[in-house]
């Protein structure tokens, strides 16, 4: 059987189209095995929410992920089907997303009777931090970070919109600014109230309100990196020390090669023995 040049082109197109799907399936199988290993070692139910750029479309074009309602539906279902006596390990790696979805997940985490531990290998910002507030324990790596949960309105900090409105007489404020500031006040109150709700099972109301105000009140920029030390000082139940099996699992969520400028070879040099 002979192939002409046009047939070879079509074969190449089909291979290019299927390659991201096949690689995705291969990594999914490896992730399932790795999650099983963690569950067996920890004696827990492991649920992951890893948001990285993924190659799933034709020719491997990439798209980014954020917390959305589909995530909420899936995680809530996983939590509800977990027996009440079984602890949960929730592994988060996310830039944040919809407050509605994050709050739904957080309430499901808070409602689970057994211990829920949130692991943050690298970062869980914004809505990811909101979810972490509901956990019994937050495990961070040495360089892992959380972030503020202050709401954003049309990409602008809600607290800043309120401040802009209040900085001059109402007669001199643009109508749109007044509307956005009004929405911002509502959003700030809602997020703070939600944070207090999640924190009060483990903290008294005064402490919970102080933490909620610091995280949601616009005291930092929205991308501020909240370290483990700062999180502890706030009063969050933070533990430092990421298990190696969780870090190994993260390797199975590779970034698209063409999007990254980071490269390194596998370590082949044996570690030096300490001198006596």
135-157 pLDDT, tens per residue?
Answer: 999 999 999 999 999 999 999 99
| One domain for residues 156 and 107 | no
The CATH number given to whatever domain includes residue 234 is 3.90.226.10
DSSP assignment string, the chain:
----HHHHHHHHHHHHHHHHHHHHHHHHHHHHHHHHHHHHHHTSEEEEEE---EE-SGGG-EE---B-HHHHHHHHHHHHTS-TTS-EEEEEEB--B-HHHHHHHHHHHHH-SS-EEEEESSEE-THHHHHHTTSSEEEE-TT-EE-----EETTEEHHHHHHHHHTS-GGGS-HHHHHHHHHHHHHHHHHHHHHHHHHTTTS-HHHHHHHHHHHHSSSS-TT--B-HHHHHHHT--EEE---HHHHHHHTTSPPPGGG-----PPP-SPPPPPP-
Q: What angle do CA 22, 23, 25 make, to 5 degrees?
A: 65
Same domain, 161 and 201: yes
Q: For residue range 172-197, what is the model confidence (pLDDT) as tens digits?
A: 999 999 999 999 999 999 999 999 99
Instruction: Tell me if 261 is assigned to some domain.
Output: no
CA distance 60 to 58: 5
Q: Is residue 40 part of a domain?
A: yes
**268 in a structural domain:** no
- Residue 270 inside a domain? The answer is no
Burial environment of residue 107 by CB neighbours within 10 A (0 to 12, 13 to 18, 19 or more): middle
Claim to verify: residue 134 and residue 208 sit in the same structural domain: no
Domain end, chosen from 223, 238, 264, is at 223
Q: What is the pTM of this model?
A: 0.84
Confidence of residue 275 (pLDDT cuts 50, 70, 90): low
pLDDT single digits (tens) 67-100: 999 999 999 999 999 999 999 999 999 999 999 9
Q: Which domain holds residue 115?
A: 12-147+225-256
Which is nearest to 102 in space by CA: 75, 134, 67? 67
Shared-domain flag, residues 102 and 30: yes
Domain count, the chain: 2
Q: Please indicate, yes or no, whether residues 206 and 76 belong to a single structural domain of this protein.
A: no
Give the tokens for residue 76.
């809530």
Same domain, 163 and 230: no
Separation of alpha carbons 178 and 185, rounded Å: 11
- Residues 155 and 128 occupy one common structural domain: no
* Model confidence band, residue 58 (pLDDT cutoffs 50, 70, 90): very low
Residues 6+ apart with CB under 8 A from 139: 117, 118, 119, 120, 238, 239, 240, 241, 242, 243
Confidence (pLDDT) at 61: 47
- Domain presence at residue 95: yes
Does residue 116 share a domain with residue 72? Answer: yes
- Where residue 240 falls (left for φ over 0; alpha for ψ -120 to 50; beta otherwise) is beta
Q: Are residues 177 and 247 in the same domain?
A: no
Domain boundary among 199, 223, 247: 223
Within-domain flag for 207:
yes
* Co-location of 183 and 247 in the same domain: no
Kindly state whether residue 179 falls inside one of the protein's structural domains.
yes
The answer on 169 and 54 residing in a single domain is no
My answer on whether 32 and 67 are in the same domain is: yes
d(CA 60, CA 106): 33
In a domain, 239, yes or no: yes
């Amino acid at each position: 059987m002979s192939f002409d040049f046009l047939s070879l082109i079509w074969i190449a197109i089909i291979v290019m189209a299927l390659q991201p799907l096949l690689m995705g399936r291969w990594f999914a199988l490896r992730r399932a095995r790795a999650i099983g290993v963690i569950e067996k070692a920890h004696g827990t139910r492991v649920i992951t929410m890893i948001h990285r750029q993924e190659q799933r479309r034709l020719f491997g074009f990439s798209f980014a992920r954020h917390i959305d309602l589909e995530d909420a539906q899936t995680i809530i279902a996983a939590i509800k089907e977990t027996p009440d006596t079984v602890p949960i390990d929730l592994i988060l790696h996310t830039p944040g997303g919809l407050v509605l979805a994050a709050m739904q997940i957080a309430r499901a985490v808070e409602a689970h009777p057994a211990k829920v531990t949130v692991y943050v290998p690298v970062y869980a910002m914004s809505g990811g931090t909101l979810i972490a507030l509901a956990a019994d324990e937050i495990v961070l790596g040495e360089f892992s970070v959380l972030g503020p949960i202050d709401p954003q309105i049309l990409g602008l900090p809600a607290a800043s919109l309120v401040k802009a409105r209040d900085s001059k007489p109402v007669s001199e404020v643009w109508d749109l600014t007044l509307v956005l500031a009004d929405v911002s006040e509502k959003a700030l109150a809602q997020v703070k109230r939600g944070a207090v709700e999640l924190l009060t099972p483990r903290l008294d109301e005064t402490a919970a309100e102080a933490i909620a105000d610091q995280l949601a009140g616009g005291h930092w920029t929205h991308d501020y990196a909240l370290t483990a030390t700062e999180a502890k000082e706030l009063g969050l139940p933070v533990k430092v020390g990421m298990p190696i099996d969780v870090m190994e699992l993260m390797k199975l969520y590779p970034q698209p090669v063409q999007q990254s400028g980071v490269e390194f070879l596998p370590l082949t040099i044996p570690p030096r023995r300490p001198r006596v």
